[in-house]
Structure 1
Amino acid sequence: MRLIDLSTAIDAAGWEPDPVTHEIVSAKEGARHMAREMREHFGVDFDPSTLPGGELLSLDRISLTSHTGTHVDAPSHYGTPEDGGRPADIDEMPLDWFVRPGVVLDISDAGVGTVGPDRLEQGLKEAGHTPSPLDIVLLRTGADRHAGTQRYFTDFVGLDGPAVEFLLDFGVRVIGTDAFSLDAPFTHMIGAYQKTGDPSVLWPAHLVGRHRPYCQIERLSHLEDLPSPHGFTVSALPVRISGAGAGWTRAVAWVDR
């Protein structure tokens, strides 16, 4: 098998609405840190200078949201279900949803905003593939070329509600995109709402999950490196964070050599 990395790096140097902070603790400071921990928690005195070079292990302190970098949204991220029940958190999702055959649909010719079922139906015809239940559908929008810049959050295409329903009708339960969101950019949605007064234009893709639970993989990358539209396996297992609405993932495609 050949592995293709479909993930976007978490990079504190990139632009984010919720900035990432990344503190690197050196191996020398790591030795002093360990000495302090040993003394405070275990009452053991330890001289870090006895270590080779006075160094132990480096570590990283990172502050970020669970929606930074490539991540999986759980149903609890979408709000209260229409039936009033409790939506599942990311640590409660079935693992077999996230290692499945994939199909990538190229919608990179669409402008900023949303596409509907007709465009996805066209994409499936171009791919020569009909999704089976639990297949993972990936949307190549081309937005990942702007990753790390402010434009990444304003210039991309998402799905409208009927488009999500269209994919779920095949039995799909995980939809991925190389854009910041499966919905249109915030500015586009708010502008459409101010123009029409229609609340259905606000986060329609996410809100489908209130009555039809499914997961999104957002902020993918390198979908153009996939050698064919289908015939590969996607692995996007989310990090197990108790009670969280999302979890980071190192998404990869497994491709036969």
Structure 2
Amino acid sequence: MRLVDLSSPVDARGWEPEPVTHEVITPAEGARHMAEEMREHFGIEFDPSVLDDGELLSIDTLRLTTHTGTHIDAPAHYGTRASYREGPPRTIDELPLEWFHRPAVVLDLTDAPPGAVGADRIHAELDRVGVELAPLDIVLLHTGADRWAGTEKYFTNFAGLDGPAVHLLLDLGVKVIGTDAFSLDAPFGDILQRYQRTGDRSVLWPAHFTGRDREFCQIERLANLDRLPRHGFTLSCFPVKIAGAGAGWTRAVAFIDDNEG
């Protein structure tokens, strides 16, 4: 069984619209911090110099959004209402685990220009793959956008889906749609320009807003989709269990059996 890491890193050195901060307490600083905490809270004296190299443990503190790095958007991310159920849409910790360890299919959109891809293109790519989707299969969109990760271009140059394309996949039983781009929707600038030109509200973030009426998730900011076969592998992408959150990070990994068949 071959494993392929499909996750982009959380890296404070890369460009982000919401910058990441990453502070590190070194093992030596950790030792001194522990000694101070033990003295202050428990009245216990401890000299950290008795530890090998005067070191205890390092501690990393990060400030970032749940949409940094490879992550899964929960239905709660799309809005506060859900027409498909009583009560509010589900948060990331409420979703069934069965959605996140499933057979997956890769659709090649690498030749699509920045903007929204329609249902006809998705249908053609499904025909090209030649596999009939089963309920809960995961569909991954290989746009090639991950080559710009860590730069401003990553947030402006990619292809997303329009509303009918999302509905097509959901009609086939898909619950999780993934992309190596910043968003499952088209770039913000493209969306707003089309809206200003047409006045058509249906162009405003349809890949997300469809989730107000149909329950599904999307994985954004994947990587290395070019290392995968078109089908015949399993994707594992369990989200981090953050209570009440609209999204959660995931370490997405493909399980490929090169000897299958």
Please indicate the TM-score interval, normalised by the length of the shorter structure.
Answer: over 0.9
Q: Secondary structure at the match of 1:230?
A: coil
Tell me the CA shift for residue 43 of structure 1.
3.0
In structure 1, the partner of 2:203 is: 201
Tell me the CA shift for residue 251 of structure 1.
0.2
Q: Secondary structure at the match of 2:219?
A: strand
Alignment map for 1:119-198 (pairs within 5 Å) = 119-198=121-200
Q: Secondary structure at the match of 1:206?
A: helix
Q: Secondary structure at the match of 2:98?
A: helix
Distance (whole Å) between structure 2 residues aligned to residue 168 and residue 42 of structure 1? 56
Distance (whole Å) between structure 2 residues aligned to residue 39 and residue 233 of structure 1? 51
In structure 2, the partner of 1:43 is: 43
Tell me the CA shift for residue 82 of structure 1.
4.5
- Asked if the contact 2:39/2:45 (under 8 Å) is kept, the reply is yes
Distance (whole Å) between structure 1 residues aligned to residue 108 and residue 256 of structure 2? 18
Return closer, same or farther for 1:24/1:210 CA change in 2, 3 Å cut-off. same
Tell me the CA shift for residue 46 of structure 1.
1.9
Read off the aligned partner of 1:230 and give its amino acid letter: H
Give a deviation string over 1:112-167, Cα, whole Å, max 9, x none.
10111110111111111121100000000000000000000000000001111100
Which of 83, 104, 107 pairs up with 2:106? 104
Tell me the CA shift for residue 217 of structure 1.
0.3
Give a deviation string over 1:210-239, Cα, whole Å, max 9, x none.
01010000000000001x210000000000
Read off the aligned partner of 1:86 and give its amino acid letter: P
- Asked if the contact 2:194/2:203 (under 8 Å) is kept, the reply is yes
Distance (whole Å) between structure 1 residues aligned to residue 195 and residue 41 of structure 2? 55
In structure 2, the partner of 1:91 is: 93
Work out the percentage of aligned pairs sharing the same amino acid: 65
Tell me the CA shift for residue 45 of structure 1.
2.1
- Aligned residues between the structures: 256
Distance (whole Å) between structure 1 residues aligned to residue 72 and residue 43 of structure 2? 42
Tell me the CA shift for residue 207 of structure 1.
0.5
In structure 1, the partner of 2:248 is: 247
In structure 2, the partner of 1:60 is: 60
Distance (whole Å) between structure 2 residues aligned to residue 216 and residue 190 of structure 1? 21
Q: 192-201 or 59-68, which moves further after superposition?
A: 192-201
TM-score scaled to structure 2, two decimals? 0.96
Read off the aligned partner of 1:19 and give its amino acid letter: P
- Asked if the contact 2:28/2:57 (under 8 Å) is kept, the reply is yes
- Asked if the contact 2:82/2:89 (under 8 Å) is kept, the reply is no
Q: After TM superposition, where is structure 1 displaced by more than 6 Å over at least 4 residues in a row? A: none
Tell me the CA shift for residue 39 of structure 1.
2.5
Distance (whole Å) between structure 1 residues aligned to residue 23 and residue 53 of structure 2? 22
